[in-house]
Amino acid sequence: MSLRRRATSGFVWTFAQQFGNQLVNFIVSVILARILLPAEFGLIGMIAVFIAMGNTLLNTGLPQSLIRSKETAEEDYSTIFYFNLIASIILYITIFLLAPFIATFYDQPILTQIVRVYSSTFIISAFGAVQVAKLTKEMDFRRQTLIAIPAGTLGGAIGIFMAYRGYGVWSLVWSSIFTIAMNTGLLWIFSTWRPSWIFNYSKFKDHFNFGYKLTLSGLLDKIFNNLFIIVIGKFFSPAQVGFYTRAETMKQLPVTNISNALNKVTYPLFAVIQDDDLRLKNVYRKLMKMVLFVVAPSLVFLAVLAEPTFRYLFTEKWLPAVPYFQILCATGILYPLHAYNLNILKVKGRSDLFLKLEVVKKIIIVSAVIIALQFGILALLYGQVIISVLAFFINSYYSGKFINYPAAQQIKDIIPILVLSVIAGGIVWFLDTIFFNEVLDLIRILLGGVTGLLLYLGISYLLKFKSLFELTNLIIKNDPRN
Q: Given this model, what pLDDT does residue 480 score?
A: 38
Residue 482, pLDDT > 50, answer no
Q: Domain ends where: 180, 214, 248? A: 214
Segment 264-279 shows an average pLDDT of 59
**Residues 194, 247 share a domain:** no
How many structural domains is the chain composed of?
2
Per-residue pLDDT tens digits for 72-119: 777 777 888 888 888 889 989 999 999 999 999 888 899 999 999 999
**Residues 48, 151 share a domain:** yes
In the chain the first and final C-alpha atoms are separated, in Å, by 17
**Residues 272, 141 share a domain:** no
How many Å apart are CA 104 and CA 116, to the nearest integer?
Answer: 14
Quick one: the chain helix, strand, coil %, rounded to 5? 85, 0, 15
- 17-to-4, 5, 144, 286 alpha-carbon distances in Å: 20, 18, 7, 22
Q: Given this model, what pLDDT does residue 54 score?
A: 79
Q: Given this model, what pLDDT does residue 241 score?
A: 86
CB 7 within 8 A of CB 139: yes
In this predicted model, which residue has the larger pLDDT, 265 or 348?
Answer: 348
Helices 129-137 and 261-272: angle between axes, nearest 10 degrees:
60
**Residues 256, 149 share a domain:** no
Q: How many helices (H) and strands (E) does the chain have?
A: 23, 0
Residues 6+ apart with CB under 8 A from 182: 150, 151, 154, 155
Q: Given this model, what pLDDT does residue 161 score?
A: 94
Per-residue pLDDT tens digits for 238-250: 888 889 888 888 8
Per-residue pLDDT tens digits for 354-395: 777 777 887 888 888 888 888 888 888 888 888 888 888 887
**Residues 332, 287 share a domain:** yes
Per-residue pLDDT tens digits for 395-438: 787 777 777 788 888 888 889 999 999 999 999 999 988 888 88
**Residues 241, 190 share a domain:** no
**Residues 183, 241 share a domain:** no
Residue 16 domain-assigned (yes or no): yes
**Residues 210, 301 share a domain:** no
Residue 133 domain-assigned (yes or no): yes
What is the span of the domain harbouring residue 180? 1-214
Confidence of residue 305 (pLDDT cuts 50, 70, 90): very high
Residue 227 domain-assigned (yes or no): no
**Residues 318, 184 share a domain:** no
How many Å apart are CA 449 and CA 326, to the nearest integer?
Answer: 16
Residue 454 domain-assigned (yes or no): yes
**Residues 242, 128 share a domain:** no
Residue 224 domain-assigned (yes or no): no
| pTM greater than 0.85 (yes/no) | no
| Element (DSSP H or E) covering residue 169 | helix 169-190
How many Å apart are CA 341 and CA 181, to the nearest integer?
Answer: 33
**Residues 203, 257 share a domain:** no
Q: Given this model, what pLDDT does residue 48 score?
A: 81
Residue 219 domain-assigned (yes or no): no
